Structure 1
Amino acid sequence: MNLFRRDREPSRRPVEDVDLDSLLSLVAESLGYSFEFAHDGSSVTLRAFGDGYFSDDGLGGGGYRDGGPQGDGPGGGRPGGVEELAVKLTGLRREAGRRAREDWPMLVSEHLAHAVATAGERLDVCDLEQARPLMLTRVESVDEVADLTRVVGRHLNGDLVELLTVAGRAVRPEQAGCWPLPTGQALDQAVANVRGQERLRLENIELTGTPVTRLTASGPTAATHLRWLGDYLPVPSDGVLVVLPDPYTLLVHPVDGIGVVRAIERLRVHAARTDGLSPQVYWWHEERLTLIRADIVTQRGQTRLVVAPPPDFARVLARLAV
């Protein structure tokens, strides 16, 4: 079945836009709405319909045979009680241009379904002026993000990603595509917002005799504060060890002596027990978060830690051991 319909009359618009509009119209109707596109294609107005609705089989929209929508109660046949909804398409078109056509049905379905689901909210994420002060970040395990192509973010390392959020929700590419600034700048704005929002709470604790510093945030933004760790405590030239037991907490230990080997063990065991954001130990050095591979191995009833440090950290350990 061909999902993409053409205008009856030849169109001067790019064929990709025409095909995307055809798909938008099909999805709109499947959700229970008529549709009317803006002349420049920047938005589509959805209107809920009832039994009196007819489609003109084109892209200009449909109508009502009796002059109005049908249905009982407030809003008639309008899904969710939404009478009329304007959905911005600028970001969706940009994202579609970067994706294969087989991805378009999913993109369009998610975009319109999200617009309908959030129609009662005052916040319009596509409006940069509304979104800018609400931009924050949230760090997630890569394995916990269902589809990295459907969120906006950047990798902290191979297994952790820093996501862009607005009002606590992860931002989708088609939403960020509405803004007149690159996503990298939007992420920088979110990081700046995190810094201005609060200072982390700091306390010194011990893990089986090993001193560590615990830093806690009120929101899931603790890892973002690694950028300003020097504002909270002295950071040696060789950096610090870090574990992230949950998005609200950092545990750090200075890399300032051979005692760091024992600290790796204590931090790794603690992180594994919390079963939180990540069970691994990381090295924060020169603005980079690097995994220190440490596996807990049980053999013949004995448990031991097998550490495979990255080359740069291995050289630090060799120097500290002298």
Structure 2
Amino acid sequence: MSLFRRDGARRSSPEPRVPARRPVEEVDLDSLLALVAESRGFACEFAPDGSAVTLRGSLAGDTALVVRLTGLRREAGRRTREDWPVLVSEHLAHAVATAGEQVDVCDLEEAGPLLRTRVESVDEVADLTKVVGRHLNADLVELLIVGSRPVRPEEAGCWPVPTARAIDLAIGNVRKDERLLVESIELSGTPVSRLTARSPSAATHLRWLGDYLPVPADGVLAVLPDPYTLLVHPVDGIGVVRAIERLRVHALTTDGLSPQVYWWHESRLTLIRADIVVQRGQTRLVVAPPPEFAQVLARLAV
């Protein structure tokens, strides 16, 4: 393995400068980066401040590939050293795979206008440590995306703002992109509102549901049959119990984003556990509402 110098060539001087001592973690990470880069057929040159590494070699053709390292260093600081080889390998592989992208995602000024969100089932995300997002609840996560792909933590780590601020920026972009189409439909006689988006960010619009239809003080029931669609029903009477059944059955038949029914109230999406049980040839719905929603049901039943 060749030796990579980060402090430039030695100067001819009767009193040579002593390079500043660097944290041992940074030195070790650079050594690992150099090792992984060479194993992939690249020669590499680190920027003097350690913010980037330039890859050159047969795999990169005649074009030098500059890989930013600020976010990688931050992510490495959150991980154990045992995670570093995989983290570095995946970071360099991702940099090579996305080299043809016209936008440098590590540059927030460049990537910011393209940031969006997409809601996914937690079970459908292979590894939550390799994406950026926030949980809407225990089984749904709102991912930060650019174009059609999720943003990686090492990319978001390059930005001069916290991840939460970047997600808020993406949410703002979603709101400016479009208004949802609102339709009134019936599910076995129960009226519901269907809101449809052109992009896979329909659930993000729950935050502005009041811009589309009246929202009672007790909120609405919501199902997310797919990333482009929302079905909602107001929580404004005891008929909400039947609505839970109709929405649950519909969500099951779509086999989409989530088969569950949720309660959207005070900017929170809470699961209303509702299981369809077959006993002795009879089908019935068994609802186990969260305590707060149970209180709402008790009040509505009076």
TM-score strictly above 0.5: yes
Unaligned runs of 5+ in 1: 49-77
Q: Which amino acid aligns with 2:292?
A: D
Q: Is the 8 A contact 1:6 1:19 kept in 2?
A: no
1:189 and 1:281 mapped to 2: Cα distance? Answer: 28
Q: Which amino acid aligns with 2:214?
A: P
2:104 equivalent to 1:124: yes
- Aligned match of 1:316: 296
Deviation at 1:296, TM superposition (A): 1.5
Moved over 6 A (4+): none
Deviation at 1:29, TM superposition (A): 1.0
- Name the SS for the 2:245 alignment partner: helix
Q: Deviations over 1:61-115 (max 9, x none)?
A: xxxxxxxxxxxxxxxxx22646310100000000100111111111111110011
2:233 equivalent to 1:259: no
Q: Which amino acid aligns with 1:169?
A: R
1:255 and 1:212 mapped to 2: Cα distance? Answer: 11
Q: Is the 8 A contact 2:46 2:52 kept in 1?
A: yes
TM-score norm. by structure 1 comes to 0.87
Identity %: 78
Alpha carbon RMSD of aligned pairs, Å? 1.6
2:201 equivalent to 1:221: yes
2:64 and 2:153 mapped to 1: Cα distance? Answer: 24
Q: Which amino acid aligns with 2:55?
A: L
Superposed counterparts of 1:127-276, under 5 Å:
127-276=107-256
TM-score norm. by structure 2 comes to 0.92
- Name the SS for the 1:83 alignment partner: strand
Superposed counterparts of 1:44-55, under 5 Å:
44-48=53-57
2:101 and 2:152 mapped to 1: Cα distance? Answer: 17
Q: Is the 8 A contact 1:245 1:274 kept in 2?
A: yes
Deviation at 1:10, TM superposition (A): 9.3
2:219 and 2:4 mapped to 1: Cα distance? Answer: 60
Q: Is the 8 A contact 2:4 2:46 kept in 1?
A: no
Unaligned runs of 5+ in 2: 6-17
C-alpha change, 1:82 and 1:209, in structure 2 (3 Å) is farther
Aligned equivalent of 2:266, options 277, 286, 306 = 286
2:20 and 2:256 mapped to 1: Cα distance? Answer: 54
1:191 and 1:38 mapped to 2: Cα distance? Answer: 34
Deviation at 1:11, TM superposition (A): 7.5
